[in-house]
């Protein structure tokens, strides 16, 4: 596959029209490249300009390829959350959840959820994170094969549900959520890059499976809300904040908004963390020297007792391992925005209503930003080296008003889990394991199977 570019059309004065990436097919445009090898395709676009035009079916999309311009895009008021990714996600997340809302609704919703994610709120989640991290390592027996996909989902869902929704949810729910999200996110991605509308309504097995998974996801959320209401309890948690939220007129928000908000917390909260845990497990198996270094750090910090939430701040190297795994394998690999007015980005003209797209995966692996860019090197995050990394070249949680509210929450649990895993086990690959990158709305290994060996 090649990405040839055509000459930039340069008007006499003013912003330029970006180059167009080559290889577009009639009807599908660049959609086939985004289906066939999207990561390679997105990673090559910077060779053709800081902003590059793509075709998705009849639509023109503007790909932003430099760290600096992704920062401008995320921070400018000229762009909102919208575009093909969000349109397809609305079918999943609903139209009234924080992840897809804009303007005053979005600001109000962020105010509702933000307190649960503030840095000073995180220590209250410490005991649950500790318990779940240790329960995970306790479940695994020496020599057995671990299905890393279901195990990672399980712990991610349990932590999100127990910390934020105070749900004592059965593992069966985590399993259901895992299956439903896997199917729904795969289907959503296809619908985004190959927008063949009516074909997705045909009663084909793949469409039926997608519809079943989507229905179960919404049923799960209804069950969670109904259970809380039936309990008559009002703990001080995110679910209570959502159930009791008021609109700008001081009236209770509607049932649909409550439902969509819970979906908007639970779905990104489990898929992203689960994918990152899978990559961390893969890293521990692939790089035993780094796994040993994590174990040594944990031993030095804890003096042999089980790792605790309060240790997270001292686990500098473990934290750098998590960051480096997220650099090479960002769960969220593609993001979109829409221009609300005609504007300019890096000297390029962006028409009003244009959809823009950028890839944290491409940005975070770019040789122009990182020395030995494809090497797993956690020490690149040491204070004396980190200053060489360009601004916005590492932004797995995004930036600006749409930044993930859960950055502290996620980093704390990921660091704790990595520390608990590396202290107790070494990991070996198992025949039949497939760690190739599976591209959907998030990135994760296809089917990672590992064998834990006690230390």
Residue 373 binds ligand HEM (CB under 6 A): no
Q: How far apart are the first and last CA of the chain?
A: 45
Residue 272 binds ligand HEM (CB under 6 A): yes
Considering only 29, 38, 187, 396, the residue that binds ligand HEM (CB under 6 A) is 396
Q: For 68, how many CA atoms within 13 A lie in the half-sphere containing its CB?
A: 6
Considering only 410, 415, 418, 433, the residue that binds ligand HEM (CB under 6 A) is 410
Residue 207 binds ligand HEM (CB under 6 A): no
* Nearest-angstrom CA–CA distance, 355 and 357: 7
Residue 322 binds ligand HEM (CB under 6 A): no
Task: Give the CB-nearest residue to ligand HEM.
Answer: 269
Residue 276 binds ligand HEM (CB under 6 A): yes
Count of CB atoms within 10 A of residue 447's CB? 15
Within the chain, how many helices (H) and strands (E) appear?
16, 13
Q: Which stretch binds ligand HEM (CB under 6 A): 39-47, 165-173, 384-392, 395-403?
A: 395-403
Do residues 378 and 363 make contact, with C-beta atoms less than 8 angstroms apart? no
* Nearest-angstrom CA–CA distance, 136 and 154: 9
Rounded to an integer, what is the distance from CA 68 to the centroid of its chain?
Answer: 21
Q: Which stretch binds ligand HEM (CB under 6 A): 198-206, 385-393, 396-404, 427-435?
A: 396-404
DSSP state, residue 431: T
Nearer of residues 3 and 323 to ligand HEM, judged by Cβ: 323
**DSSP letters for 265-316:** HHHHHHHHHHHHHHHHHHHHHH-HHHHHHHHHHHHHHHTTSPP-GGGGGG-H
Q: Which stretch binds ligand HEM (CB under 6 A): 143-151, 272-280, 343-351, 372-380?
A: 272-280
* Nearest-angstrom CA–CA distance, 421 and 153: 15
Q: Which stretch binds ligand HEM (CB under 6 A): 34-42, 122-130, 211-219, 393-401?
A: 393-401
Considering only 397, 418, 427, 440, the residue that binds ligand HEM (CB under 6 A) is 397
Residue 402 binds ligand HEM (CB under 6 A): yes
Residues that bind ligand HEM (CB under 6 A): 81, 98-99, 110, 160, 164, 264-265, 268-269, 272-273, 276, 331-332, 335, 396-398, 402, 404-406, 409-410
């Amino acid at each position: 596959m090649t990405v040839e570019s055509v000459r930039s059309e340069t008007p006499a004065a003013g912003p330029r029209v970006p180059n167009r990436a080559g290889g577009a097919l009639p009807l599908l445009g660049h959609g086939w490249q985004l289906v066939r090898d999207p990561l390679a395709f997105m990673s090559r676009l910077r060779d053709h300009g800081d902003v590059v035009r793509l075709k998705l079916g009849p639509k023109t999309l503007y790909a932003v390829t430099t760290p600096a311009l992704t920062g401008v895009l995320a921070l400018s008021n000229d762009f909102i959350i919208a575009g093909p990714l969000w349109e397809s996600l609305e079918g999943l997340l609903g139209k009234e959840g924080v992840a897809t809302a804009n303007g005053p609704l979005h600001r109000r919703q962020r105010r509702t959820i933000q307190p649960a994610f503030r840095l000073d709120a995180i220590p209250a989640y410490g005991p649950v994170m500790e318990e779940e991290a240790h329960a995970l390592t306790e479940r695994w027996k020496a020599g057995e094969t671990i299905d890393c996909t279901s195990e990672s989902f399980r712990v991610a869902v349990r932590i999100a549900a127990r910390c934020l929704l105070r749900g004592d949810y059965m593992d069966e729910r985590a399993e259901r959520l895992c299956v439903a999200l896997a199917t729904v996110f795969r289907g959503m991605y296809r619908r985004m890059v190959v927008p063949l509308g009516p074909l997705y309504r045909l009663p084909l097995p793949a469409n039926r499976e997608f519809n079943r998974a989507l229905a179960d996801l919404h049923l799960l959320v209804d069950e969670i809300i109904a259970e809380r209401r039936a309990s008559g309890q009002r703990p001080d948690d995110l679910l209570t904040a959502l159930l009791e939220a008021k609109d700008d007129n001081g009236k209770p928000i509607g049932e649909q908004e409550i439902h969509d908000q819970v979906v908007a917390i639970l779905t990104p909260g489990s898929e992203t963390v689960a994918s990152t845990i899978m990559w961390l497990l893969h890293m521990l198996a692939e790089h035993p020297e780094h796994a040993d270094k994590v174990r040594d750090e944990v031993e030095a910090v804890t003096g042999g007792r089980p790792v605790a939430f309060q240790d997270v701040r001292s686990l500098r190297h473990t934290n750098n391992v998590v960051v480096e795994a997220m650099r090479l394998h960002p769960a969220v690999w593609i993001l979109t925005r829409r221009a609300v007015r005609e504007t300019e980005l890096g000297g390029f003209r962006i028409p009003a209503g244009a959809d823009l797209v950028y890839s944290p995966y491409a940005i975070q692996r770019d040789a122009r930003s990182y020395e030995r860019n494809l090497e797993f090197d956690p020490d690149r995050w040491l204070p004396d080296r980190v200053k060489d990394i360009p601004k916005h070249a590492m932004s797995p949680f995004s930036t600006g008003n749409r930044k993930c509210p859960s950055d502290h929450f996620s980093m704390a649990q990921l660091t704790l889990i990595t520390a608990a895993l590396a202290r107790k086990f070494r990991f070996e690959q198992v025949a039949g394991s497939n760690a190739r990158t599976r591209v959907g709305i998030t990135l994760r290994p296809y089917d990672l199977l590992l064998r834990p060996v006690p230390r």
